[in-house]
Amino acid sequence: MARRPLPRILSNGSAQLARSRELARTAADSATDVLQPLIVIARGLRRLASAGRRKWAATPKDRRGTLLFLAAAVVLAVALVPYGPLLAVITLMAAAARQGRDRAPSASGGPDASQAERLRSLYEALVPYFSAAEDPAPLYAHGGAWEKAFPEYEFDDGGRVTRLVVRYPAYFTDGEAEARARIEHLLTVKSGRGREYHFAWDEEGNQLTLTVLAPLPTDIAAQRFVTAPGETVLGFTDPTAVHRTLPLAHGAERRDAPPVVWRTGPRSTEPHLLVLGQPGSGTSTLLRSIALQALRHGDVVVVDGGGTGEYACLTGRDGVLAVECGLAGALASLEWAATETERRLIAVNRARQAGHPPPDDAKRPLWLLLDRPTAFTHVAAADGRKDPQSLLQIPLRHGRAANVTVVVADQLDGVEGLGEAVRQYTRARVVLGPATADQLEAVLGAPPHTTPVAHVPPGRGYARLGTGPVHRLQVPATPDPYDDATGDAHRQAVLDLLPPRTTPADGETVPESARPAPEPAEAPPDRARPEPAGPVPTPAEPERAKTLPTLSKP
């Protein structure tokens, strides 16, 4: 039987399809060549718009009004200048053409040999974590191509990774903290130790962005920060972590830095602070910085459990009610603070019931700063006395309503010695010095988004206010001005912030010409006596004893 010939469309169809495909490709190339300037300008406009959006997002909210005013002024000036709009369009097109041209890195063809080897090593290290035997088309496989797994990467001059975008399969358990911690630890080890890395997980896009963080500045000295009453600067953090900056003076220079601001007072959700760290990590420096800021608007009581004299510069200063280093003085001062807290509560309650505003003496902030209170625990037990931490229960529980703020600083190895009230009511936390990820999570309540390093400068750590995010923190340099190892510039900066010394007169610490004489019920403990043996008696003690039982005891 003779074989019938195929139809013509089937016999020479492949040649026609190939010819048509070639004609289409030629037409597309010609159109691309003709429209290449428009493509470059459109790409440049898109990049300029993206840069403008990033600049707007990075601008603090308190400075956006100024930026809008400057933009409007520039637009108005361009509109009024002859041929201004035409020149503006030409300038914009030229900038777009410059931004839209092909970048040099993309034309280079990728990383060099050493960089490619580093990326291949990272890829092979991630294979056991991002691969599964049941995956028909695995993204990670031994000997596979790393180009699909790492779409973006950047290196420094030394050849180490500074930014890396990692794609991972959708079945990876990125919602589990343990799985994410394993990946973060692996990338930290393979990318280079001794640096801090920030990890941003995009669960929806199945991507992980690794970024090397720049070191926080350590040259910020103690100074008068531009803050409102009730705001305390704990330190400074990364520019992308907060939406606020503070103007700082650094010698003759002026610069802005993003602060970590702790808000206290009746409307604060975190009225008390707990600071933990290793010896020499800067906990006393932070307490001195807080004391200098608190003395601008309130009174301060300092209890130094370490007894090292770190706060001798505050003794006898205006607003400093007491600086105690002994057990007897600490018990007397804290007992007075508890009684003062109750008195303020009663005064505020009576004023509200009468329809009057709270009295001024109840609104003036009172700060209780305790450095290593656990050092008194064993001494008090051996002496048969009360633990000073037990006297903090009333200020901690009712301090927000009475405008009393408690700041406790201790060492990380002494956390177990802290009282239950201290651990329960100090919702603002700071950890300074080297610490493991488990220690940070145990103290702060959440793991940081950066990797802690083993060696950090003094005053470097992490801070978390309540349920907020964990911030990197660098405490401003506030050394003891009486220490011989302190530099002249830092010593003078602290001395300039200290209030003037007061001359005791009839038991008062402030001259009557400078401040109205307080009522007998408001008298603080006698500062002329370094270690009183018991509660300071006042003429209003009998009346206070009658009113205190009406307040419910915790």
Give the residue numbers of the binding site. Answer: 277-284
Instruction: Give the number of C-alpha atoms closer than 13 A to the C-alpha of residue 363, restricted to the C-beta side.
Output: 7
Q: What is the DSSP letter of 516?
A: P
Rounded to the nearest 10°, the torsion over CA 295, 299, 303, 307 is 40
Using the CB atoms, write b or e for 309-343: b if 16+ within 10 Å.
ebbbbbebbbbbbbbbbbbebbbbbbbbbbbbbbb
Q: Beta-carbon neighbour count of residue 225 at 10 Å?
A: 19
Could you give the CA distance from residue 52 to residue 473 in angstroms, rounded to a whole number?
Answer: 29
Could you give the CA distance from residue 35 to residue 45 in angstroms, rounded to a whole number?
Answer: 15
Q: Quick one: tokens of 431?
A: 């950890």
Could you give the CA distance from residue 317 to residue 296 in angstroms, rounded to a whole number?
Answer: 12
Q: Find out whether 304 and 315 touch, Cβ atoms under 8 Å.
A: no
Annotated binding site for ATP: 277-284
Could you give the CA distance from residue 163 to residue 305 in angstroms, rounded to a whole number?
Answer: 45
Which helix (DSSP H) or strand (DSSP E) does residue 276 occupy? strand 273-277
Q: Find out whether 261 and 227 touch, Cβ atoms under 8 Å.
A: yes
What amino acid is encoded at 215 in this protein? P
Cα-based distances in Å from 131 to 128, 139, 169, 172, 179? 6, 7, 8, 9, 13
Q: Checking DSSP bridges between strand 299-304 and strand 366-371, what pairing results, if any?
A: parallel
DSSP string, 204-265: TTTEEEEEEPPPPP--PBP------TTEEEEEE--TTT-S--EEEEETTEEEEE-EEEEE-S
Smallest Cα–Cα separation from 458: which of 293, 285, 287? Answer: 285
Number of H helices, E strands in the chain: 16, 16
